[in-house]
């Protein structure tokens, strides 16, 4: 393998050695390097742009693959006057070296210039949608969870499952890495993270071959802020929100950069509490269960990251990152269930108390190496270690009374659940770009890579029954799970004039072994399988006019089950409801195709179609008077989505943004044996934001979203929406910001769901949390003006499917 890699690198060097180069240095008037200044290569004849580059820390730069001819080099930097060289002649087979370029201060001119942020909140790019959080005033007072909850085209249900563009199966990344957390633990992490610490959120509905094939609906990549200045820089912020209960968080980001060394880190903490009102009705033949109560949810969490990059010369960089989170959650459910027969008054009642505290620790350590030259080659190697540990003891106390509220009997059950997951990952990515010698806008780019992931999971459930805490042999269980995925990919991108084409193929071989053992020594060896899959991708982009671009892409994706979804443990919620895993779950497979048109690099109209086989979803199944929630493969899903997103400049001081998405779904399959379904459903998702620049220091924003009622398989889902207000003022010479806001002004955030099962069983759920909240936030930025950092960290790999159980 090493010999092949060295041979490949040597071949690339030979292929590039014959091209002409222009090399030089750039400095300030004090003879100090103008680190990271921007440089353009212009043709002498007509001043057309040929290519660009950025100087390194020492002020050195090189233009590679330059065709023979006459050029000028133009240099620019914030606060400096642009500098342009005399004519530079490049001859075939020769390297050209320039005299130092000197940049002079333009401080006097800068006094009369007002700089405004040019990035919109929603930036529609060719292959993804990027949310620039700093451009959204109201986002600064939110948590990362709330930011995602109101992102265009994104829906999060009460079980914290994420949908995007009408599809299930989103793979959530943090700083280019899968989050390594369950739906609930990921939600706790995002609730603990101030959105002000986030730089961008990338919504990628059809990723290329270099990304893991996991996630049928695509990827959401949350990228945290990194200061890009020399010296010590950072940002500190704190926020407080008040509804019926409080919410508080604080965070600090630090970055120190010398010429070769970059140290960075961030730390955030949160303390949140809220109640959620719950109403659940279940209807069986001759019996109705009416449950009323509330969930009590308090979370204290700390999220941290520390890392270092060190540049070895101008081409080699090594880095180390340690990141993680620690969370303590005090969760409880307190309900009363009235049980009705034929009478209009209850025949009996059940008062239920569930105390489910949990503690989890997650740590990730990554060592990486990057090689980059000026001839278009980049090699990135990364080794990762992740450990996730979760302890979740729970105690369920139930008191039964008769129709006259006289005590009948009481029961108690206790469960001690412990989960430990270790993930080892190694990956390598190689990129090589060849520029055309005859056409400045033509190039060929090759990407190839390898990845190996090894997941080892251990789950222990100790079950006890009665007030004497007698061991329950039928429910005490140990579940071990091992998954090894080895992947390789290659893609080729060709750009010629107005046309760009890319084709890629990713191969993933998976070996999966699960083993469940109870106290009676009953063993279930499921899952137990090995399979190889190919995942092709294809992209075509064409510049149809000066203002219009047409794009077509295709990709095949896989949705592997969450590890805990295959765990057969039974988690009792009350005497009549429980949750359990399904060791017989199969992966889902999705074909995605998209056609989009972008006008003036801002307005985009997109049509997307996907077809998913072995579609899986949460299902509720009835066994006599009891019901349990599990995950099952229920059939196939076809989704057609039409979306429009566009900025709307109304006045110089008033800008708006609109997203509207319509989805047509068709679900076919079988929830249980004999209960076939063929459901068609329409869904609509809309988002609008209005931003007002009231003065040099005051800004205001109104934003809102609405998800119309829809259906998913046999379930009916109610509408969901919110209207948010925010006012922001710059203080301390613009380095500080104070914001005041009201989230969900009309108090419309609530979840409604209903369903009907074979045999006439029905249910409906209503949940209302503390969504209307007044907020205040202060942030302060310190350090130098922004310049380009040592490097941008590449995407990493990982496993996002760690899952611990939530509540029904």
pLDDT at 804: 36
Phi, psi of 547 (to 5 degrees): -110, 0
Q: Are 707 and 155 in contact (CB under 8 A)?
A: yes
Cis check: omega of the bond before 527, within 30 degrees of 0: yes
Q: Does the residue 801 lie in any domain?
A: no
* Res 460 pLDDT > 80: yes
Q: Which residue has the tokens 């609509």?
A: 684
* Res 115 pLDDT > 60: no
Q: How far apart are CA 203 and CA 395, in angstroms?
A: 40
pLDDT at 227: 59
pLDDT at 71: 85
Strands 577-580 and 626-651: parallel
Instruction: Give me the residues paired with residue 124 across strands.
Output: 129
Q: How far apart are CA 28 and CA 45, in angstroms?
A: 29
Q: How far apart are CA 551 and CA 546, in angstroms?
A: 15
Do 403 and 264 belong to one domain?
yes
pLDDT at 761: 79
pLDDT at 280: 93
Do 170 and 23 belong to one domain?
no
Pick the closest to residue 117 from 138, 133, 140 (CA basis).
133
Work out the number of other CB atoms within 10 angstroms of the CB of residue 500. 19
pLDDT at 352: 94
Q: Does the residue 704 lie in any domain?
A: yes
Give 684's DSSP letter. E
pLDDT digits (tens, 9 = 90+) for 543-560: 888 888 899 999 999 988
* Res 124 pLDDT > 60: yes
Global pTM exceeds 0.85: no
* Res 787 pLDDT > 60: no
Phi, psi of 477 (to 5 degrees): -155, 150
> Once rounded to an integer, what is the mean pLDDT over residues 297-326?
89
Q: Domain ends where: 61, 83, 110?
A: 110
pLDDT at 226: 65
Phi, psi of 467 (to 5 degrees): -70, -15
User: Residue 544 CA to chain centroid, in angstroms?
Assistant: 32
246 vs 228 pLDDT, higher one: 246
pLDDT digits (tens, 9 = 90+) for 203-214: 888 888 888 888
Average pLDDT, the chain: 82
Query: Could you give the C-alpha distances from 405 to 401, 579, 655, in angstroms and in order?
Result: 5, 29, 61
* Res 72 pLDDT > 70: yes
* Res 194 pLDDT > 60: yes
> Once rounded to an integer, what is the mean pLDDT over residues 385-406?
92
* Res 12 pLDDT > 50: no
Q: How far apart are CA 317 and CA 368, in angstroms?
A: 8
pLDDT at 758: 66
Q: Does the residue 570 lie in any domain?
A: yes
Q: Which residue has the tokens 């990135």?
A: 380
> For 176-204, b where at least 16 C-beta lie within 10 A, e where not — what string?
bbbbbbbbbbbbbbbbbbbbbbbebbbbb
> Once rounded to an integer, what is the mean pLDDT over residues 98-114?
60
pLDDT at 627: 82
* Res 49 pLDDT > 80: no
Do 161 and 23 belong to one domain?
no
Do 153 and 23 belong to one domain?
no
Do 227 and 94 belong to one domain?
no
pLDDT at 649: 86
Enter the tokens of residue 262.
Answer: 């970059």
Pick the closest to residue 328 from 278, 244, 386, 269 (CA basis).
269
Q: Does the residue 428 lie in any domain?
A: no
Do 562 and 671 belong to one domain?
yes
Q: Are 592 and 557 in contact (CB under 8 A)?
A: yes
> Once rounded to an integer, what is the mean pLDDT over residues 457-472?
89
CATH number of 33's domain: 2.60.40.10
User: Residue 724 CA to chain centroid, in angstroms?
Assistant: 23
Phi, psi of 159 (to 5 degrees): -90, 10
Do 236 and 302 belong to one domain?
yes
> Once rounded to an integer, what is the mean pLDDT over residues 402-406?
91
Q: Domain ends where: 110, 142, 166?
A: 110
pLDDT digits (tens, 9 = 90+) for 329-362: 899 999 999 999 888 889 999 999 999 999 989 8
Share above pLDDT 90 across residues of the chain, in percent, rounded to a whole number: 30
pLDDT digits (tens, 9 = 90+) for 417-457: 898 999 999 999 999 988 877 666 678 889 999 999 999 99
Q: How far apart are CA 398 and CA 409, in angstroms?
A: 9
pLDDT digits (tens, 9 = 90+) for 220-241: 888 877 655 567 888 888 989 9
Enter the tokens of residue 646.
Answer: 């566009």
Q: How far apart are CA 421 and CA 453, in angstroms?
A: 13
Do 84 and 159 belong to one domain?
no
Cα atoms in the 13 Å half-sphere on the side-chain side of 82? 7
Q: Does the residue 798 lie in any domain?
A: no
Do 700 and 726 belong to one domain?
yes
pLDDT at 584: 87
> Once rounded to an integer, what is the mean pLDDT over residues 485-499?
91
- DSSP string computed for 219-261: EEEEEE-----SEEEEEEEEEEEESSSEEEEEEEEEEEE-SSE
Pick the closest to residue 689 from 729, 662, 659 (CA basis).
659
Q: Are 685 and 707 in contact (CB under 8 A)?
A: yes
Q: Are 235 and 253 in contact (CB under 8 A)?
A: yes
Do 397 and 300 belong to one domain?
yes
Do 104 and 247 belong to one domain?
no
Q: Does the residue 477 lie in any domain?
A: no
pLDDT digits (tens, 9 = 90+) for 140-192: 667 777 778 777 777 776 667 777 876 777 888 877 777 656 666 677 667 66
User: For the chain, what is the domain count?
Assistant: 2
Q: How far apart are CA 370 and CA 378, in angstroms?
A: 7
Residues 6+ apart with CB under 8 A from 431: 377, 378, 379, 445, 446, 447
pLDDT digits (tens, 9 = 90+) for 564-589: 788 888 877 888 888 888 888 899 99
Q: Does the residue 454 lie in any domain?
A: no
Do 623 and 750 belong to one domain?
yes
* Res 116 pLDDT > 60: no
Q: Does the residue 443 lie in any domain?
A: no
> Once rounded to an integer, what is the mean pLDDT over residues 294-311?
90
CATH number of 231's domain: 2.40.170
Q: How far apart are CA 139 and CA 722, in angstroms?
A: 14
59 vs 630 pLDDT, higher one: 630
> Once rounded to an integer, what is the mean pLDDT over residues 597-624?
85
Containing structural domain, residue 681: 122-180+221-370+381-422+501-507+533-782
pLDDT at 808: 32
Helix and strand counts by DSSP (H, E) for the chain: 4, 50
Annotate 707-771 with three-state secondary structure. ECCEEECCEEECCEEEEEEEEEEEECCCCEEEEEEEECCCCCCCEEEEEECHHHCEEEEEEECCC
Q: How far apart are CA 661 and CA 152, in angstroms?
A: 9
Q: Are 735 and 717 in contact (CB under 8 A)?
A: no
Work out the number of other CB atoms within 10 angstroms of the CB of residue 567. 27
Query: Band of the pLDDT at 476, cuts 50, 70, 90?
Result: confident
* Res 759 pLDDT > 70: no
Residues 6+ apart with CB under 8 A from 663: 165, 166, 639, 640, 641, 642, 682, 683, 684, 685, 710
How far separated are the first and last CA of the chain, in Å rounded?
A: 50
pLDDT digits (tens, 9 = 90+) for 659-694: 899 999 999 988 777 778 888 999 999 988 898 989
């Amino acid at each position: 393998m090493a010999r092949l890699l060295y041979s490949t690198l040597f071949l690339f060097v030979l292929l590039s050695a014959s091209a002409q180069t222009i090399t030089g240095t750039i400095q300030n008037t004090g003879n100090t390097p103008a680190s990271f200044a921007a440089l353009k290569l212009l043709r002498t004849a007509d001043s057309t742009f040929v290519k660009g580059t950025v100087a390194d820390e020492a002020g050195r730069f090189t233009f590679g693959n330059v065709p023979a001819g006459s050029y000028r080099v133009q240099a620019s930097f914030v606060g400096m006057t642009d500098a342009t060289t005399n004519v530079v002649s490049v001859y075939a087979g020769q390297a050209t070296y320039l005299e130092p370029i000197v940049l002079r201060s333009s401080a006097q001119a800068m006094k009369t210039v007002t700089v405004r942020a040019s990035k919109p909140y929603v930036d529609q790019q060719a292959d993804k949608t990027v949310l620039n959080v700093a451009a959204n005033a109201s986002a600064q007072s939110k948590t990362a969870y709330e930011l995602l909850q109101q992102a265009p085209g994104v829906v999060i249900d009460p079980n914290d499952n994420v949908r995007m563009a009408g599809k299930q199966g989103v793979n959530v990344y943090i700083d280019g890495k899968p989050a390594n957390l369950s739906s609930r633990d990921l939600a706790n992490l995002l609730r603990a993270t101030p959105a002000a610490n986030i730089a961008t959120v990338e919504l990628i509905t059809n990723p290329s071959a270099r990304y893991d094939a996991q996630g049928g609906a695509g990827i959401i990549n949350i990228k945290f802020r990194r200061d890009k200045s020399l010296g010590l820089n950072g940002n500190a912020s704190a926020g407080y929100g008040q509804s019926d209960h409080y919410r508080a968080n604080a965070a600090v980001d630090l970055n120190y950069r010398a010429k070769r060394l970059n140290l960075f880190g961030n730390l955030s903490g949160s303390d949140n509490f809220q109640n959620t009102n719950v109403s659940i009705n279940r209807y069986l033949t001759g019996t109705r269960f009416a449950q009323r109560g509330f969930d009590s949810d308090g979370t204290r969490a700390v999220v941290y990251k520390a890392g270092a990059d060190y540049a070895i010369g101008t081409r080699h960089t090594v880095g180390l990152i340690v990141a993680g989170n620690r969370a303590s959650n005090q969760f409880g459910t307190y309900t009363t269930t009235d049980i009705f027969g034929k009478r209009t008054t209850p025949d009996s009642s059940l008062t239920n108390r569930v105390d489910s505290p949990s503690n989890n620790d997650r740590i990730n350590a990554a060592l990486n190496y990057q090689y980059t030259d000026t001839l278009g080659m980049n090699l990135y190697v990364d080794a990762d270690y992740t450990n996730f540990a979760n302890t979740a003891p729970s105690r369920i106390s139930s008191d039964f009374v008769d129709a006259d509220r006289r005590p009948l009997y009481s029961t108690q059950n206790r469960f001690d659940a412990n989960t430990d997951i270790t993930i080892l990952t190694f990956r390598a990515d190689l990129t090589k770009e060849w520029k055309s010698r005859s056409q400045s806008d033509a190039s060929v780019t090759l990407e190839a890579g390898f990845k190996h992931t090894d997941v080892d999971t251990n789950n222990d459930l100790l079950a006890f029954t009665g007030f004497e805490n007698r061991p329950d042999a039928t429910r005490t269980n140990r579940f071990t799970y091992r998954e090894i995925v080895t992947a390789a990919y290659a893609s080729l991108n060709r750009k010629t004039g107005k046309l760009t084409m890319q084709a890629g193929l990713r191969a993933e071989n998976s070996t999966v072994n699960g083993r469940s053992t109870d106290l009676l020594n009953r063993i279930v060896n499921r899952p137990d399988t090995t399979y190889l899959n190919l995942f092709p991708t294809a992209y075509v982009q064409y510049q149809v006019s000066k203002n219009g671009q047409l794009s077509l892409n295709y990709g095949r994706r896989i949705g592997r089950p969450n590890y805990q979804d295959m765990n057969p443990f039974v988690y009792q919620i009350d005497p009549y409801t429980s949750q359990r895993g399904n060791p017989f779950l199969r992966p889902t497979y999705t074909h995605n195709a998209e056609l989009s048109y972008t006008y003036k690099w801002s307005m985009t109209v997109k049509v997307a179609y996907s077809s998913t086989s072995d579609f899986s979803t949460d299902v509720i199944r009835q066994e006599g008077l009891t019901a349990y929630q599990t995950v099952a493969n229920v059939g196939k899903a076809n989704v057609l989505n039409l979306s429009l997103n566009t900025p709307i400049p109304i006045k110089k001081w008033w800008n708006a943004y609109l997203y509207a998405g319509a989805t047509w779904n068709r679900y076919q399959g079988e929830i249980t044996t004999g209960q076939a379904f063929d459901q068609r459903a329409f869904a609509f998702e809309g988002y609008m934001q209005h931003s007002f620049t009231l003065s040099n220091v005051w800004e205001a924003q109104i934003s809102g979203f609405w998800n119309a009622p829809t259906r998913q398989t046999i379930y009916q889902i109610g509408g969901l929406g919110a209207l948010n207000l925010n006012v922001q003022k710059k203080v301390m010479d613009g380095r500080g910001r104070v914001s005041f806001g009201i989230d969900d002004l009309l108090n419309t955030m609530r979840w409604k769901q209903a369903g009907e099962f074979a045999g006439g069983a029905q249910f409906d759920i209503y949940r209302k949390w503390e969504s209307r909240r007044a907020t205040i936030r202060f942030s302060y930025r310190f350090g130098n003006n922004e310049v380009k950092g040592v490097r941008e960290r590449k995407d990493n790999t990982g496993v996002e499917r760690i899952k611990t159980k939530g509540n029904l």
